Amino acid sequence: MTWLHWYLLVALLLFCVGLYGLVQRRSLIAMLIALELMLAAVSLNIVAITSLSGSSSSVGQVVALILIGVAAAEGAIALSLFVAIQREVQSINVENLSELKG
Amino acid sequence: MNWNAFLFGASAALALVGALFAVGLKNIFHNILGFALSLVGVAGLFLTLGSDFLAIVLLLVYVGALGIAMVYAVMLSQPLDTPRTPRSLPKVVGSALLAAVVAMALWLVIRRAHFPPSGGSLEVTPQMTGYRLLSDYVLAFELISILLVIAMMGAVMVARKDRSRSGRAASAAPKASP
């Protein structure tokens, strides 16, 4: 195992913990937390691969910065949607959001 | 190198323990604290990779801004003392199984992949990152700023109280009258 493999292993575990949380939790905010963990794992992966393998490591930094920006935008939109849903349905538990269920 | 290995181990442990807190604990507020802890660990991992600027941005955006926004969303939405029905065991086992299968598959891919050894130095200065952002990746940079502005305006639009001019509010109006 090289150093790169250790970094990839940590990112893999972080990603799968996030995946578990995304599937298992029912509160929308908890699901958003799990999703952000997965995004952080992805950016860790990109930075580790570009700095420990290949030649140009500043590309990974740029991609990770853009990823952080997208994650911030996504988090802002998601949290405001949660507040709107709470106002409408009085719950942010996904099991109560069954208005469109056939 | 030894100091770097110690920093790597401590940061990785912090990231994983924080992730387990963020996912496993019942209280949503503890989840947010675990999330912040986990991202401090990820920022430490970025430090060991020589990307200091990225670590600082990660701390500012995720731990600072997003953590506080999540705390606000919790305060505005979910009372912390609502009774929680426990998750049924087959669903918990099923999601753990799903995560384990995905982990195994990804690990097999990682073991098989061939990574060429690094050519350049590990250190990346913020000057290099900024130069790349404003030369090769200027389109992505501009698009991300437009995206952030639109997301901010959209968040305000979605979350504001007065929705009388939107079409969806009109259809919900009969239900709202007491």
B7 lies in the same domain as B72: yes
CATH classification (class only), A3-94: mainly alpha
pLDDT tens for each residue of A14-61: 999 999 999 998 888 999 999 999 999 999 999 998 888 876 667 888
Q: Read off the CATH number of the domain in which B45 is found.
A: 1.20.120.1200
For residue B118, being part of any structural domain is answered with: no
CA-based R_g, chain B, Å: 22
Residue A90, phi-psi category: left (phi > 0), alpha (psi -120 to 50), beta (remainder)? left
For residue B178, being part of any structural domain is answered with: no
Region B55-74 average pLDDT: 91
Q: Which of B16, B57, B74 sits opposite A68 (nearest CB)?
A: B57
Residues in A touching B166 (Cβ below 8 Å) = none
For residue B132, being part of any structural domain is answered with: yes
Q: Which amino acid is at B171?
A: S
How do the domains of chain A map onto residue ranges? 3-94
B55 lies in the same domain as B129: no
Mean pLDDT estimate for chain B: 84
Answer whether residue B178 shows pLDDT above 90.
no
**Higher model confidence: residue A95 or residue B147?**
B147
For residue B106, being part of any structural domain is answered with: no
pLDDT tens for each residue of B14-47: 999 999 999 988 888 899 999 999 999 999 999 9
Q: Give me the sign of the Cα torsion angle B81, B82, B87, B92.
A: negative
For residue B174, being part of any structural domain is answered with: no
CB atoms within 10 A of CB B100: 13
Region B117-122 average pLDDT: 66
Domains: count for chain B: 2
Instruction: Give the pLDDT band (50/70/90) at residue B177.
Output: very low
In this complex, do B110 and A5 lie within 8 Å of one another by their Cβ atoms? yes
Q: Which domain holds residue B156?
A: 124-162
SS3 of B117, please?
A: strand
Enumerate the H helices of chain A as residue ranges.
Answer: 3-24, 28-52, 58-89
The span from the CA of B105 to the CA of B87, in Å, is: 27
Specify the pTM: 0.86
CB contact residues (below 8 A), chain A span 57-96, against chain B: 57-59, 61-62, 64-66, 68-77, 79-88, 92
Q: Which of A38-52, B90-104, B140-154, B158-172 has the lowest mean pLDDT?
A: B158-172
A:B CB pairs within 8 Å:
234
Region A61-69 average pLDDT: 91
The span from the CA of B20 to the CA of A42, in Å, is: 17
The C-alpha angle A4, B35, B94, rounded to 5 degrees, equals 80
Q: Residue B68 CA to chain centroid, in angstroms?
A: 13
Answer whether residue B92 shows pLDDT above 70.
yes
For residue B93, being part of any structural domain is answered with: no
Nearest in space to B129 (alpha carbons), one of A58, A65, A70: A58
For residue B169, being part of any structural domain is answered with: no
B59 lies in the same domain as B129: no
Q: Which of A57, A71, A82 sits opposite B73 (nearest CB)?
A: A82
B1 lies in the same domain as B76: yes
